[in-house]
Amino acid sequence: MPRAWIAAALVAAFVLLTIRPLDASENNSRADDLSARALSAPAGRLIISAEISGAWNLFTANPNGEDWQRVATNLAPARDPAIAPDGKTIALRSKRDGAWDIYTLRGETLTRLTRGMIYNAAPTWSPDGKKIAFESYARGDLDIWVMNADGSNALDLTDDSKAHDYAPTWSADGKWIAFTSWRTGAQQIFVVAGDCARACKAINLSSNKFNDQNPAWSPDGKQIAFVSDRDGQRAIYVAEFSANAIQNARRITFSGWDDQPTWSPDGKFIAFVSPRPKRQPIYIVPVEGGLPQIVENGPAFASSVVWTSDATIAGDSASNSANGALYREQPDLAPADAGHPYELRRIRSSRLDGGLSKLSGRVADSWDALVARTKLEVGYDFLSVVADMTRAIDMKCDITCDTLSWHKSGRAVDTRVSYDGMEIVREDLLAETYWRMYLRAGIQNGTLGEPLKDAPWDLSYRARWVIAPGEGGVKKPVPYGFFVDFTELARQYGWERISSFDGIDFDWKTNKIGAEYWHIERRQGLTWYQAMREVYAEDDLKALAEWNALSRAGYDGYLIYLKGIPAPARAWKWFTLTP
């Protein structure tokens, strides 16, 4: 975690608050400026794939965030919506019959189009509505396929390469299908002829050293929006299209990690997914540049979005908790004279050798539910053994860990650091490095997991010190097979990952322990001290968490403040800020 950066930000904010507060006229002027730059509400209707209570389903909403509705209740899990040219039919992928297959939904009529092809996803319609292109794992790697709109005559367009080809999109004139491919060793945007029948020639539009992916064609076919890391961040770009290249690419988003662009029907706006550490909302930005606007009031985590001009697409009223709770939390109450409200509970679903197999009684049920769900989704009991749980209150740490660790509150778990079939993918969000953990599915027939599309990270000694010294490792080739996103499963049960350490004295790039990809915790909006007080009496914490003693031991004031530790009068300055 960038401690120096956090400290600088807090100090800067403190200076602004205490030395030169803004007057009302300046505040109003800035608000007017932001309002002038904000986009007006575009027309049409969004169709969004989003998660609520562990289930992915399809929702519709107005671009201004009003009138959220669930498309249908019998689709889950459902992803990758694509609207037909008639504006009435939605193609999608669903796992309702056991494996991921392509379906169409028109009104209340659901029709299955693919069968026996292991994994099928990412449908896209031809402009005349007669064909659907999609990605499939039918031949041992991801390829781009085309079939008739009724599911007949499926044809593999990219069987010439064993590299993953995925995320197809059809041009407005029907001449081209653009897609993402790993053929060059990096993600690049390729095209094949839309009417190709055999020996299709794929043309690399990117032809660069960067990662370009997830193309989306403009309604007039003259431009392609796509995701690229060419400026060091994962952002949305718009470029002009020619038959053999994309040209004059310009960046239109700047949040640090943006994905899955889609065009408005009039070609003036782009909607996209913008992952954050705690949520994954939809934003809309003008194609010519401007201030993005969030699509509020819906589920916190979305995976993709499409835009239709037909505002009549609708469904049932949507609720952010419509599927019910994934588990029931029944806290273990402490005796009335304990000095704290809750007890630590012995955990029997996971075994910890040489430590305390306990968690706070406020989070233990969510952990047990996550253990059971992971076993179901992965096909084996990955969490039956863990590396760390609750630590003793008097445990001391060196620079590789924190004496004020969330482990001591009974709200943190370290999974196994390595496991056969485990892969980790690096994600740089908001200037910090996070990791997404994938587990190879125990059954490789398409009923569990999905193919990996992002390259995993190599943290081996050779990668860190021979191939890329000082960089913490390198990407490695995308493995074949089916994997389960464990990080996503944990999030659904309230267990969040943390960012890697990147301080001056302790940096994940030079010390693998700092990567922390194995660490998840459940804070529930509490500060560390509040979480500790739930399971320990105040007197028990005096030796561990006393402001002056921590300050003398070398803890920076802002860190003590962020932990929520009671402060003496001299520390008043930190409380002009809100964490």
For residue 367, pLDDT over 60 is answered with yes
C-alpha to C-alpha distances, 231 to 212, 235, 237, 251, 252, nearest whole angstrom:
11, 8, 11, 9, 12
Q: Does 33 fall in a domain?
A: no
3-state secondary structure of 490: helix
pLDDT in tens, 90-103: 999 999 999 999 99
Same domain membership, residue 384 and residue 309: no
What local confidence, expressed as pLDDT, does residue 102 receive? 98
Residue 226 Rama label (left phi>0; alpha psi -120 to 50; beta): beta
Same domain, 283 and 351: no
Average pLDDT on 136-149 reads 97
* Pair 293, 38: CB distance under 8 Å: yes
Q: Which of 266, 298, 317 is the endpoint of a domain?
A: 317
User: What pLDDT, on the 0 to 100 scale, is given for residue 467?
Assistant: 98
List b or e across 264-281, with b for residues whose CB sees 16 or more CB atoms inside 10 angstroms: bbeeebbbbbbbebeebb
CATH number for the domain that contains residue 167? 2.120.10.30
Q: Do 202 and 248 have their domain in common? A: yes
**258 pLDDT band (50/70/90 cuts)?**
very high
Mean pLDDT of the chain: 89
Tokens found for residue 467: 């191939």
Q: Does residue 557 lie in a domain region?
A: no
Backbone phi and psi for residue 502, each to the nearest 5 degrees, phi listed first: -140, 40
- CA dist 387 and 351 (Å) reads 9
Examine the pLDDT at 504 and tell me if it is beyond 90: no
Q: How far, CA to CA in Å, does 76 sit from each of 59, 125, 328, 440, 493?
A: 11, 22, 22, 23, 18
Q: Decide if 9 is inside a domain.
A: no
Q: Which amino acid appears at position 444 of this protein?
A: Q
Q: How far is CA 253 from the centre of its chain?
A: 17
**Residue 160 burial (C-beta neighbours within 10 Å; 0-12, 13-18, 19+):** middle
With pLDDT > 90 as the criterion, what percentage of the chain qualifies?
76
Same domain membership, residue 488 and residue 370: yes
pLDDT at residue 557 in the model? 86
Q: How far apart are CA 89 and CA 425, in angstroms?
A: 35
Instruction: Note whether 199 and 241 are same-domain residues.
Output: yes
The residues pairing with 226 across neighbouring beta strands, listed in sequence order, are 237
pLDDT in tens, 278-323: 899 999 999 998 999 999 999 999 999 999 998 677 666 665 555 5
- Can you tell me which residue has the tokens 């809100």? 578
Q: Is the pLDDT of residue 189 over 90?
A: yes
Across 309-431, the runs of DSSP E, i.e. the strands, are 316-317, 344-346, 358-360, 412-414, 422-429
Does this model's pTM top 0.75? My answer is yes
Of residues 132 and 325, more confidence is placed in 132
| Three-state DSSP class for residue 121 | strand
Find the domain containing 176 and state its range. 44-317
Integer Rg of the chain from CA: 25
Residues 353 and 495 in one domain: yes
The answer as to whether 390 is a domain residue is yes
Q: Are residues 413 and 290 in the same domain?
A: no
Rounded CA-CA distance 437/517 in Å is 7
306 and 431 share one domain = no
Do 198 and 110 belong to one domain? yes
Q: How far is CA 9 from CA 4, 536, 558, in A?
A: 9, 32, 10
Place of tokens 């659904």: 492
Better-scored residue on pLDDT, 406 or 572: 406
For residue 569, what pLDDT is reported? Answer: 76
Question: Is the residue at 556 inside a domain?
Answer: no
Cβ 310 vs Cβ 45: under 8 Å: yes
Mean pLDDT value across residues 124-150: 97
Structure-token pair, residue 125: 């319609």
Average pLDDT over residues 394-402: 82
| pLDDT classification of 430: cutoffs 50, 70, 90 | confident
Domain co-membership, 289 together with 349: no
Residue 561 located in a structural domain = no
Report if residue 431 sits inside a domain: yes
Predicted confidence band of residue 329 (pLDDT cuts 50, 70, 90):
very high
* Structural domain count of the chain: 2
